[in-house]
Amino acid sequence: MITAIVGINWGDEGKGRMVDLLSEKYDIVSRYQGGNNAGHTVVNEKGKFILNLLPSGILRDTTVNVMGTGMVIDIEHLYNEVKSLTGAGIKITPDNLKISDRATICMPYHKQLDILEEERLADKKFGSTRRGIAPVYADKYYKKTLRMHDLLDLETAKEKLADILEWKNLTIANGYGKDPVKLEDMYNWLVKYGTFFKDYVCDTTYYLNNAIDEGKSVMFEAQLGALRDIDFGIYPYTSSSTVLAAYAPIGAGVPGRKLDCSIGIMKAYSSCVGEGPFTCELFGKEGDELREAGGEYGAATGRPRRVGGFDVPASKYGILLQGAKDCIALTKLDVLSYLDKIPICTKYLVDGVETDVFPQGKALAEAKPVYEYFDGWKTDISKCRSFEELPVQAQKYIRYIEKLTDCKIKYVSVGASREDYFEM
């Protein structure tokens, strides 16, 4: 079975949590895009972990984890993440972690440029995680980056880096007026953090394809939600890579037709970290209470997330993009238990017309939410382990969401721990 686990909304839907749960049935978990701008919180019998770069299968003893070619990897961050997990007793060796030799290295100057540009933009900033992701993907498409295999031959890497820096310093020194980046500093950084990963870097394309030929099952783990996709999301307030299920095989190096299914992770309400249009946003007391109830603070950055009710136009669009109509995991349903009336954004008002089509550009920026209120259940549901155990109103909420978005909810998550869920 080759499955992509992907986000339906703006990210932070609980993908890491669902990968940790569902990876039990898979031999391999592979990330295929993004960098350490992700923050996946996983809670299981081993403890609570926040993963930025490592696939969420890393917490299972028998799962092999792959960091795919489509990723951008800050090796300093990865080194610290590996050390922190091994310090907590998690086994990480070249046997259970394989890093694509073709994945892109995110350098310190990418991070620096990300910060410089957000500061230059001031109140027009994009709300970047400032981890260098946009600059490194831009350089990848400029074909001016180092890739993980360069760590295997650092002398050649140094020569490549000298050429790259000659170009990069045109921007850093002449553009932003900062000190030019020194070749020696970057080389030392590569040696310091790259040496550790030499045994982890391998040809993951052959590894994955051979494994699939041998009948192994693979789960692709997305890092952000559909609405953050570089092409189809809320551009330019998106991530800088393709987060969609269709890209999973590409980012990992597996033929697209081998993908059997997508599991869409969809939140029972909405959250959005950073800037950009967020039509269903709730403000004031209503928003504050939901943020607190859901613990909506960014795992990667600690930033308070913006929140709103379940957003029908956005979720329908996400389900469409992810091809996940027949397999949705609804997460954080328990968070809504405190509400007398549950807000649902059923439609957008665009140019005076109600629609459930997700717009873009000016229409999206100016869209107004059409809210409806659904009677709550006002009971703790975190111990429920079947649909039948849920209060009737919670059952109705699930059925109503299915109807509004024309999807099939297969899993329901009612808490952050691995076992806090049931299958429908």
Residue (31 or 149) nearer to ligand GDP, CB = 31
Residue (49 or 187) nearer to ligand GDP, CB = 49
- Range list of β-strands (E), 300-365: 306-308, 310-311, 328-331, 341-350, 353-355
- CA 16 to centroid of chain Cα atoms: 8
Subset of residues 124 to 163 that bind ligand GDP, contact rule: CB under 6 A: none
Residue for token pair 């609570």: 48
Residue 12 touches Mg ion, criterion: CB under 5 A: yes
Q: Output phi, psi for 141, to 5 deg.
A: -75, -20
Q: Of 118, 125, 107, give the one whose Cα is nearest residue 168.
A: 107
Query: Shortest gap between Cβ of 126 and Mg ion (angstroms)?
Result: 17
Question: Among residues 131, 147, 332, 418, which is the contact residue for ligand GDP, using CB under 6 A?
Answer: 332
Residue (251 or 294) nearer to ligand GDP, CB = 294
Task: Judge whether 415 and 325 are in contact, CB under 8 Å.
Answer: no
Residue (254 or 268) nearer to Mg ion, CB = 268
| Single-letter amino acid, residue 250 | I
Residue 414 touches ligand GDP, criterion: CB under 6 A: yes
Subset of residues 6 to 35 that bind ligand GDP, contact rule: CB under 6 A: 7, 11-17
Q: Which does 114 bind (CB under 5 to 8 A by kind): Mg ion, ligand GDP, none?
A: none
Task: Judge whether 40 and 257 are in contact, CB under 8 Å.
Answer: no
Q: Which does 13 bind (CB under 5 to 8 A by kind): ligand GDP, Mg ion, none?
A: ligand GDP
| Single-letter amino acid, residue 282 | L
| Residue 27 is a catalytic residue | no
Residue (48 or 258) nearer to ligand GDP, CB = 48
Number of residues that bind Mg ion (CB under 5 A): 3
Residue 418 touches ligand GDP, criterion: CB under 6 A: no
Annotated catalytic residue, options 20, 27, 40, 139: 40
Residue 329 touches ligand GDP, criterion: CB under 6 A: no
Question: Would you give the binding string for ligand GDP spanning residues 270-299, x where CB under 6 A is met?
Answer: -------------------------x---x
Taking the chain, what is the end-to-end CA distance rounded to the nearest angstrom?
20
Question: Among residues 103, 290, 312, 335, which is the contact residue for ligand GDP, using CB under 6 A?
Answer: 335
| Residue 40 is a catalytic residue | yes
Residue (59 or 186) nearer to ligand GDP, CB = 59
Cβ density class 344-362: b for 16+ within 10 Å, e for less:
bbbbbebeeeeebebbeee
How far, in Å, CA of 203 to CA of 75, rounded?
A: 18
Subset of residues 331 to 370 that bind Mg ion, contact rule: CB under 5 A: none
Question: Among residues 40, 60, 131, 140, which is the contact residue for ligand GDP, using CB under 6 A?
Answer: 40
Q: Which stretch binds Mg ion (CB under 5 A): 1-9, 49-57, 180-188, 291-299?
A: 291-299
Question: Would you give the binding string for Mg ion spanning residues 100-139, x where CB under 5 A is met?
Answer: ----------------------------------------
Q: What DSSP string describes 165-230? A: HHHHHIIIIIIT-PPPPPHHHHHHHHHHHHGGGTTTEE-HHHHHHHHHHTT--EEEEEEEEGGG-T
Angle at the Cα of 137 (from 131 to 139), degrees rounded to 5? 110
How far, in Å, CA of 396 to CA of 390, rounded?
A: 10
Subset of residues 354 to 393 that bind ligand GDP, contact rule: CB under 6 A: none
* Three-class SS state of 159: helix
Q: Residue 308: CA atoms inside 13 Å, Cβ hemisphere, count?
A: 23
Q: Which stretch binds Mg ion (CB under 5 A): 25-33, 185-193, 296-304, 319-327?
A: 296-304
Question: Would you give the binding string for Mg ion spanning residues 192-231, x where CB under 5 A is met?
Answer: ----------------------------------------
Please give the DSSP secondary-structure letter assigned to residue 107. Answer: P
Residue 209 forms beta bridges with which residues?
none
Q: Please give the residue ranges that form the binding site for ligand GDP (CB under 6 A).
A: 7, 11-17, 39-41, 43, 295, 299, 331-332, 334-335, 413-416
Indicate which residues carry an active-site annotation: 12, 40
